[in-house]
């Protein structure tokens, strides 16, 4: 692992005394003046923005990354508690519509430095090579303007930086992981047992949770609260994997700074910097270049809220592409009941997965596929699963008292990118007076067929493992798209290097640029795409 430290020293910059934050590094952070024309201002400090900041700072760029939320300290800001983690989610007002509206907040929207990876489960699978050509192969989705081979070295690099633990991965482009797989808990045991009986291959991993010790990041303690922010520093998020190195290399992380508009010079058409709110004051950061990394809802919203005389319908929206092709994965969750005690909360929710159903199966009447993974809901999310069966009152309590007997699997179904699934601006305004996002989502027939197929496979696995009852809740997971990359400006917002077609010094480096989503959790791919964009910017690609 010596090579990792030479590229990214984050894990060694964290304290090794049992506390989780290097306060000195934050106190001594370089701070730019609003009037400095810095090389790059980045909007958003999540998976995409943090990687970009770290890479550019390493290359000597003067870079500041602004985030609307706080600069977290896991010791004091985070708790081992579901309801007490409400502040980790983006809960500013949003309106959801369409025939299948998608809940936001804890489901898919992060807040603060580290972004949604602060509360993601920790699964970090790669996309498959087929994900980059779904249109030419199957007539659905889109072809990317780059292919898997372009991302492969970035996948490998980020897997070492997080670092990822798992068994050798037989699917997609087969590959290994830098760390051995974690031991499994009750839920993982059940999945492996049921899959084996049905002849389905399932593997332990891939999870971005330290197995062993990595720099000053300790081994996971298997407390089960991955989705509430890791108080151990064992689970990877940019807060511990990229921000410390960025700070040490001279980047500024400006927390509690809500960017409200990207400013465009109306004569040159170039970006000049960003307007933002901090401590109740309107401010403006000048920059030579701007990168937007606010994820699939806030990135399109910011572009639409940045309309100007040059871009009357919203920045980069001359061809009505901004906000479109927004995707979520169908994520039905099926639980099975066992007389034995599974106690699924006693391990990280991400343990075991199968990508056996990921690719298009010519024998089926639907295209593309799904992945299956362990999920281990804690009491509040488990209550949502039980209540979805219609139980309330005494029946709800009775079911809930049975919690220790249940095992739970989740599928990620590749819902297709559709133009009507998009973000627009609502009438409603937020506390800054800016229109909030309205996100319309409707499923197509292929989507629904995938959910049914995935549910049937999960029920089958759980029955094979010995479950005497199974119950399912239909949910969604993740967000990608909304400002996708494409071959030209009539089909997307940015090019293969994440540069916007409309404004040569404006980049988008987050999940919103993804044209398809596969059945993979998106964090690793978002980081890989941002790392590749950084190499393009610094001329090292």
Interaction with another protein in 126-155: which residues (CB under 8 A)? none
Smallest gap from Cβ 440 to another protein, in A, equals: 8
Is residue 71 part of the contact set for another protein (CB under 8 A)? no
Nearer to another protein, 109 or 329 (CB): 109
If residue 380 lies in a helix (H) or strand (E), which one and from where to where?
A: helix 379-387
Is residue 420 part of the contact set for another protein (CB under 8 A)? no
**Per this entry, what is the length of the chain?**
541
Residue 218, CB-side half-sphere exposure with 13 Å CA sphere: 12
- For the CA atoms of 243, 247, 252, 254, the dihedral, rounded to the nearest 10 degrees, stands at 50
Give the separation between CA 470 and CA 336, rounded to whole angstroms: 4
Smallest gap from Cβ 484 to another protein, in A, equals: 23
Smallest gap from Cβ 339 to another protein, in A, equals: 5
Nearer to another protein, 23 or 86 (CB): 86
Which tokens go with 188? 């993982």
Nearer to another protein, 79 or 157 (CB): 79
- Is 407 strand, coil or helix? strand
Smallest gap from Cβ 465 to another protein, in A, equals: 10
Give the rounded distance of the alpha carbon of 392 from its chain centre: 33
> Dihedral of CA 373/379/380/383: which sign?
positive
Contact 237, 117 (CB under 8 A): yes
Nearer to another protein, 160 or 373 (CB): 373
Which one among 65, 165, 190, 524 touches another protein, defined by CB under 8 A? 190
Contact 345, 337 (CB under 8 A): no
Interaction with another protein in 319-378: which residues (CB under 8 A)? 337-343, 345-347, 378
Interaction with another protein in 387-416: which residues (CB under 8 A)? 387, 390, 392-405
Interaction with another protein in 192-231: which residues (CB under 8 A)? 221-225, 231
Nearer to another protein, 86 or 432 (CB): 86
Q: Which of 414, 413, 410, 447 is nearest to 334 (CA)?
A: 410
Smallest gap from Cβ 167 to another protein, in A, equals: 18
Interaction with another protein in 461-500: which residues (CB under 8 A)? 468-469
Which one among 24, 60, 103, 504 touches another protein, defined by CB under 8 A? 103
Stretch that binds another protein, among 59-67, 162-170, 385-393, 455-463 (CB under 8 A): 385-393
Which one among 10, 106, 130, 160 touches another protein, defined by CB under 8 A? 106
- Is 499 strand, coil or helix? strand
Contact 333, 385 (CB under 8 A): yes
């Amino acid at each position: 692992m010596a090579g990792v430290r030479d590229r990214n020293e984050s894990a060694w910059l964290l304290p090794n005394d049992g506390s989780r934050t290097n306060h000195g590094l934050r106190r001594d952070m370089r701070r730019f003046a609003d009037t400095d024309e810095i090389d790059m201002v980045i909007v958003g400090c999540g998976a995409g923005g943090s990687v970009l900041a770290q890479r550019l700072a390493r290359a000597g760029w003067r870079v500041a990354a602004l985030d609307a939320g706080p600069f977290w300290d896991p010791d004091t800001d985070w708790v081992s508690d579901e309801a007490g983690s409400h502040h980790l989610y983006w809960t500013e007002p949003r309106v959801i519509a369409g025939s299948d509206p998608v809940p936001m907040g804890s489901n898919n929207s992060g807040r603060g430095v580290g972004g949604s990876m602060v509360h993601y489960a920790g699964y970090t699978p790669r996309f498959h090579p087929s994900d980059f050509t779904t249109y030419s192969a199957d007539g659905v989705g889109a072809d990317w303007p780059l292919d898997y081979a372009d991302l492969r070295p970035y996948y490998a690099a980020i897997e070492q930086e997080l670092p990822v633990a798992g068994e050798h991965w037989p699917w997609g482009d087969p590959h290994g992981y830098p760390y051995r797989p974690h031991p499994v808990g009750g839920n993982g045991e059940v999945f492996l047992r049921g899959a084996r009986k049905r002849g389905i291959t399932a593997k332990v991993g891939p999870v971005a949770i330290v197995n062993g010790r990595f720099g000053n990041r300790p081994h996971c303690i298997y407390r089960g609260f991955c989705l509430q922010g890791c108080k151990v520093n064992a689970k990877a998020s940019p807060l511990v994997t990229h921000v410390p190195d960025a700070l040490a290399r001279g980047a500024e992380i400006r927390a509690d700074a809500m960017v409200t508009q990207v400013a465009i010079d109306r004569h040159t058409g170039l970006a000049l910097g960003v307007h933002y709110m901090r401590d109740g004051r309107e401010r403006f950061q000048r920059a030579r270049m701007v990168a937007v990394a606010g994820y699939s809802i806030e990135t399109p919203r910011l572009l639409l809220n940045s309309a100007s005389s040059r871009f009357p319908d919203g920045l980069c929206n001359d061809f009505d592409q901004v906000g479109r092709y927004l995707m979520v994965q169908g994520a039905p969750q099926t639980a099975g009941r066992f007389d034995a005690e599974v106690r699924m909360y006693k391990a990280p929710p991400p343990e075991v997965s199968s990508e056996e159903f990921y690719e298009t199966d010519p024998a089926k009447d639907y295209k593309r596929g799904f992945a299956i993974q362990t999920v281990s809901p804690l009491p509040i999310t488990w209550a949502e699963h039980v209540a979805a069966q219609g139980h309330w009152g005494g029946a709800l309590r009775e079911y809930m008292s049975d919690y220790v007997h249940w095992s739970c699997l989740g599928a990620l179904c590749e819902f297709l990118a559709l133009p009507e699934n998009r973000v627009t601006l609502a009438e409603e305004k937020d506390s800054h007076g800016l229109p909030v996002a309205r996100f319309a989502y409707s499923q197509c027939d292929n989507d629904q067929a995938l959910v049914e197929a995935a549910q049937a496979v999960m029920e089958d696995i759980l029955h094979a493992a010995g479950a005497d009852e199974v119950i399912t809740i239909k949910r969604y997971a993740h967000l990608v798209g909304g400002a996708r990359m494409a071959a030209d400006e009539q089909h997307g917002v940015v090019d293969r290097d994440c540069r916007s077609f409309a404004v040569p010094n404006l980049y988008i480096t987050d999940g919103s640029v993804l044209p398809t989503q596969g059945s993979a959790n998106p964090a690793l791919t978002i980081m890989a795409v941002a790392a590749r964009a950084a190499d393009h910017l610094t001329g090292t690609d």
